[in-house]
Amino acid sequence: MEHLFRCLILSIMISISCQLFYETIVPYRKWQQRWIKYTVIPAFTAVFLIISSTRVPPFILRPLRIILLTATIAQIYFQIHFVKNIILSVLFCGIYWGISTAVWSVFSMYTDFSYESTRQLSENLTEVLQLSVIIAFHYRYKDRIRSLTKLHWQKIGILPLLYLITVIAIDMIPNTPTTTDNYARFATVSGVATLSIFLFYYAIRTLEKEEALRKLQLRAEHAHNQLTMYHTMQKHYEQQQRFLHDYKNQLNCIHGLLDSGKTAEASEYISRITGNLRTQFGAVNTNHMIVNIILNQKYQIACDKAIAMTFVINDLSKLTILEEDLVTLLTNLLDNAIEACEKLDPNNLSVSRIILFKMVLEDGQLILSIRNPASKTVRIINNTICTSKDNPIQHGIGLSNVDSVIKKYGGTSVIKCENGWFSFSAMICF
């Protein structure tokens, strides 16, 4: 009974270590029943109890069964690619094996492993050190390492594997009673562990810098595309102005057709030019050319897709935000809202395909908000949308650019997703 209780305690400790390890690097799967998420520790505990209570396999297969079983549980509970899962399982097993070998080497210098109490104390210390290392890793790298893609993990995946193979090879060396050999074993394990930590840290730092550079490149490209779109919209707006400028000539032409008795031709001509006007002439006027261009274009796109838009706006002629920043701010928010409405089932009458937009400048404060229905609940942590997409780099760049613009002008923003509605609100003081 005492042995079973001890195995249970040790299994729970290593299960907590394993859960924290995976939680640091990958997000949980989304379950309809939230309580399922909290069964991850009992699942890992059951796995490690099975390992501890079954017959010990040949030495080379011991780490293999830990890797396979932990990877199986992780695949069930976490949003993780198979390749990344195997790499993480190898890394976790390598950390455990390295700590175990180091503790065993130290104990071999001063104690006799023929005593059961000594072996138990060594196992207890290994579990405590393992948990301490994983907790430190969790608080150091939580939410920092998740952005690394599958390709990045494939690049660094060889490091955990080489480390585990090296430690196992050292551990397989026959034990000798000489103090010198024990010191040498401990020094070798410690050296390999230290070198592996430095290499892994350097690899992570390098990949993080590479990731940051790619994000900057994507943002620059995104901003360039938006600016190009703005110039296109501006050209379109100028065409509208020229059309309206010539409207007097159009009326004279209509008058001439009517005087000539060509009523049918006049009617057809009127239908043609009014149709063009309905398409080209803006429905929104804020007394700010850039805002007008963007809102009218997005309004037309929404109408073409059977999406309703309501506006609460006022005179924005005194708005001092730079043109490129306005393009980034408004196009990203409206594009995201239109995309979200497109995902809604048009046959579901209980959900309206509608976008509620507000942009008001009062007393030196710009209040900007946009609301739209969401087809599914959006997970938000620290005012940032979380994603389960394979390429998280390209996902969320738009809102990241929006946040950068708002912070540039000293504003604040809030993102929420409640009761089937996604909302973005921001306030900027001038």
Q: Which tens digit of pLDDT belongs to each residue from 7-43?
A: 888 888 889 999 998 888 888 887 777 788 889 999 9
Judge whether 271 lies within some domain. no
Q: Which domain holds residue 297?
A: 284-430
Which range has the worst mean pLDDT, 116-130, 163-177, 296-310, 404-418? 163-177
**Average pLDDT of the residues of the chain:** 77
Clarify whether residues 298 and 202 are in a common domain. Answer: no
Clarify whether residues 166 and 61 are in a common domain. Answer: yes
Judge whether 232 lies within some domain. no
Is the model more confident about 347 or about 404?
404
Clarify whether residues 298 and 171 are in a common domain. Answer: no
What confidence score (pLDDT) does residue 273 get?
A: 66
What confidence score (pLDDT) does residue 390 get?
A: 45
Clarify whether residues 307 and 199 are in a common domain. Answer: no
What confidence score (pLDDT) does residue 393 get?
A: 39
Judge whether 149 lies within some domain. yes
What confidence score (pLDDT) does residue 33 get?
A: 79
Is the model more confident about 123 or about 396?
123
What confidence score (pLDDT) does residue 372 get?
A: 92
Most confident of 161-175, 176-190, 360-374: 360-374
What confidence score (pLDDT) does residue 356 get?
A: 94
Clarify whether residues 292 and 199 are in a common domain. Answer: no
Clarify whether residues 169 and 314 are in a common domain. Answer: no
Which range has the worst mean pLDDT, 165-174, 210-219, 410-419? 165-174
The helix/strand/coil state of 55 is coil
Clarify whether residues 203 and 304 are in a common domain. Answer: no
Clarify whether residues 305 and 407 are in a common domain. Answer: yes
Judge whether 100 lies within some domain. yes
How does DSSP assign 343-399, residue by residue?
A: TS-TT-TTS--EEEEEEEEETTEEEEEEEEE-SSPPPEETTEE----S-TTTTTHHH
Clarify whether residues 23 and 147 are in a common domain. Answer: yes
Judge whether 244 lies within some domain. no
Which of 217, 239, 271 marks a domain boundary? 217
Clarify whether residues 57 and 150 are in a common domain. Answer: yes
Is the model more confident about 386 or about 320?
320
Which of 161, 183, 217 marks a domain boundary? 217
Phi (first) and psi of residue 320, to 5 degrees: -110, 15
Judge whether 368 lies within some domain. yes
pLDDT in tens, 330-370: 988 998 899 989 888 777 766 788 999 999 998 889 999 99
Judge whether 391 lies within some domain. yes
Judge whether 92 lies within some domain. yes
Q: Which of 162, 164, 184, 163 is nearest to 173 (CA)?
A: 184
Clarify whether residues 62 and 172 are in a common domain. Answer: yes
What confidence score (pLDDT) does residue 309 get?
A: 92
Q: CA 42 to CA 21: how far, in whole Å?
A: 15
What confidence score (pLDDT) does residue 91 get?
A: 81
Is the model more confident about 204 or about 98?
98
Residue with tokens 């907590």: 16
Clarify whether residues 180 and 305 are in a common domain. Answer: no
Is the model more confident about 337 or about 117?
337
What confidence score (pLDDT) does residue 388 get?
A: 46
Alpha helices per DSSP H over 246-306 = 247-259, 263-280, 289-304
Would you say residue 395 has pLDDT above 50?
no
- What's the pLDDT band for 426 if we cut at 50, 70, 90? very high
Which of 164, 185, 217 marks a domain boundary? 217
pTM of the model: 0.49
Percent of residues, the chain, with pLDDT higher than 70: 67
* Domain of residue 357, CATH code: 3.30.565.10
At position 164, the amino acid (one-letter code) is L
Q: How many domains does the chain have?
A: 2
Average pLDDT over residues 49-77: 80
